[in-house]
Structure 1
């Protein structure tokens, strides 16, 4: 297993093509743009073997680990190598799939002292009827002058290991695409919603209401934007922590159903999701 000197999105695509067969296992599903946001200004380390390609991307206070492998023993060998070289740091890896797909990979990680930090389930619904988009009262499109305030909310309230906090450049791109809206009856962001459109599917990325304002039904007003933006959308999806029964119950009230698709977050340290991740 050799360290790779040149790393780029094109290299990753070549490795996906080289390793693709019925045994392929991977947690890399990023576009070139999103990989660029992730690694911008951060250290990246990559390894290549006959049966795999593996890389670490530095973040603020931890590394994200990606694998492309068609041999589980090869994945295990890289996990051991990564632990030997970078085990003093926090390493986070996310894996998406159904229960059968995840079990084999989860076992490999846990055999190498990774722990399941949390698990998310995907929920979805089909739009019941055509919609007309119109902003509810006190809902505003978010512009770049609010970017600092938005980033501060992420730093204060969001979990950096499990919630894929967007970089400043990624947020700027979302704002340009008119995918960010916020609620305010004064000058402060009291809640916000971010979603992305891909054809007939709309993906709810973030939905947040400031704890000080959670008695004003702001959340449902923000969801009205998600439910009506993009006339061509027929399917709506998002991810939620699978142990958050209150949230799942609330989403089911909106007509969403749980799918048998999960995202497990694995970390090489014994950390609790509920703890502040300083």
Structure 2
């Protein structure tokens, strides 16, 4: 594996992979700014073969894999060249579209860890009352990260870095609710044009049933209504019936897009 230092180096690597083919496959959808941030933090390595490149992003003791490959045999060859370690990969698509790509990962020691489903709400929101959540200050980002590290499955839902959450707070996209001086819940979102992405919405186990989640969601919906958002999307763990039911209560429905999270643990091999 080789440390990736900048965007230009990444372009040279993927430029060597034939992409004008019907068999081309990738799960890399990060924007240039994201890749440059990861490079600056020293978190990216690459593994290159003749017809494929793997981008390996360090994340709390394991690596997340993004692949760019001419075809599935090339992808399988690249995955087979991985050194021992723990790796995950997000494979996104409509149900049947994922089978062949998942098979390439499975042949190299990966197994399904969990499946996320995307849910969507379409249409005008109307005038929703603000739920009185607070916009977090950048200085509160570290406390939010501690909460998320306690609540999340790190393989299924990446915990943002403190610096990244500080930027989100500065831009007003991080909402919190405190109880007895402690952050009891958080919601992170993004609005682009008429679409909103609910990225994270979590409540401390000790605060469930106390209206914390409702206050966060109502504040989020109110902000969406203010700028006339027409479409909202989110990802939820597919077999979490409780969470799916809550999102349905707020008007979200599954749209058929799945994210199959594959994992290979330390020492696994073909």
Q: How has the CA–CA distance of structure 1 residues 17 and 263 changed in structure 2, closer, same or farther, with 3 Å as cutoff?
A: farther
Counterpart of 1:76 in 2: which secondary structure? helix
Residue pair 2:4, 2:45 contacting (<8 A) in 1 also? no
> What is the CA distance between 1:170 and its match in structure 2?
1.1
Residue pair 2:176, 2:184 contacting (<8 A) in 1 also? yes
Encode CA deviations 1:58-93: one digit per residue, 9 max, x unaligned: 2221111110112111111111101xx2x2x21111
Distance in 2, Cα, partners of 1:238 & 1:187: 29
Distance in 2, Cα, partners of 1:4 & 1:219: 43
Report what 1:20 is aligned to: 19
RMSD in angstroms over aligned alpha carbons? 2.2
Residue pair 1:52, 1:67 contacting (<8 A) in 2 also? yes
Q: How has the CA–CA distance of structure 1 residues 5 and 180 changed in structure 2, closer, same or farther, with 3 Å as cutoff?
A: closer
Report what 1:176 is aligned to: 170
Residues 54-133 of structure 1 mapped to structure 2, 5 A cutoff: 54-82=54-82, 85=83, 87=84, 89-131=85-127
Of residues 24-33 and 188-197 in structure 1, the stretch that sits farther from structure 2 once superposed is: 24-33
Q: TM-score, normalised by structure 2?
A: 0.88
Residue pair 1:142, 1:181 contacting (<8 A) in 2 also? yes
Distance in 2, Cα, partners of 1:6 & 1:35: 10
Distance in 2, Cα, partners of 1:223 & 1:38: 30
> What is the CA distance between 1:19 and its match in structure 2?
3.5
Distance in 1, Cα, partners of 2:127 & 2:37: 33
Distance in 2, Cα, partners of 1:102 & 1:206: 25
Residue pair 2:63, 2:86 contacting (<8 A) in 1 also? yes
- Choose from 129, 147, 152 the match for 1:158: 152
Distance in 1, Cα, partners of 2:147 & 2:220: 20
Distance in 1, Cα, partners of 2:207 & 2:186: 12
Encode CA deviations 1:91-124: one digit per residue, 9 max, x unaligned: 1111111122211110011111101111100000
Residue pair 1:37, 1:170 contacting (<8 A) in 2 also? no
Counterpart of 1:166 in 2: which secondary structure? coil
- Choose from 220, 227, 235 the match for 2:231: 235
Mark the runs of 5 or more structure 2 residues left unpaired by the alignment. none
Answering whether residue 254 of structure 2 is matched by residue 255 of structure 1, we say no
How many residues are treated as equivalent by the alignment?
Answer: 262
Distance in 1, Cα, partners of 2:3 & 2:218: 48
